[in-house]
Structure 1
Amino acid sequence: MALTITDECINCDVCEPACPNEAIYMGEDIYEIDPALCTECVGHYDTPQCALLCPVSCIPKDERHIETEQQLLEKYQRIIDAKS
């Protein structure tokens, strides 16, 4: 499943550059995650880097975008193929 950023976000700018899929962007008030690009770092790292680095722990799994490990891996492959 994709991740999401909650209202506790302090806009520290740590998560955006850590995202290997460029899924994180500045929204109207806080950073947001594009679920179409978020693979929870599957294919890149063992742990979602944004959640790992977040100083306020405001990046949980997004219950609105449930995906299996296999689906995340397939999404990762589509993203990589599109960049080629």
Structure 2
Amino acid sequence: MPIRLGFEPMADGTYQNLILHDVSKATIDHDIDVFLKHEFERIKAERRLPPTWPDAKDIQHLVQMAAPLFIFAATVLPLL
């Protein structure tokens, strides 16, 4: 069965086209920051790391290194 049969038509106004190149740097930075913090909390719990790990400056540095490539953040995490 073709996968397209599992989708129904959407009514006008229920979706919005998004051009990723038009997303602001602030939005991208925020999204990467939220993702990293969430993943660091998971790692911290699994490995019983101190509550202060990682330092906020370290997270900010990773955000700056990653932006605008979300895949950078996703690739770095398993290496920690």
- Identify, as 1 or 2, the structure richer in strand: 1
**Same fold? TM cut 0.5:** no
- Identify, as 1 or 2, the structure richer in helix: 2
- TM-score, normalized by length of structure 1? 0.24
- TM-score, normalized by length of structure 2? 0.24
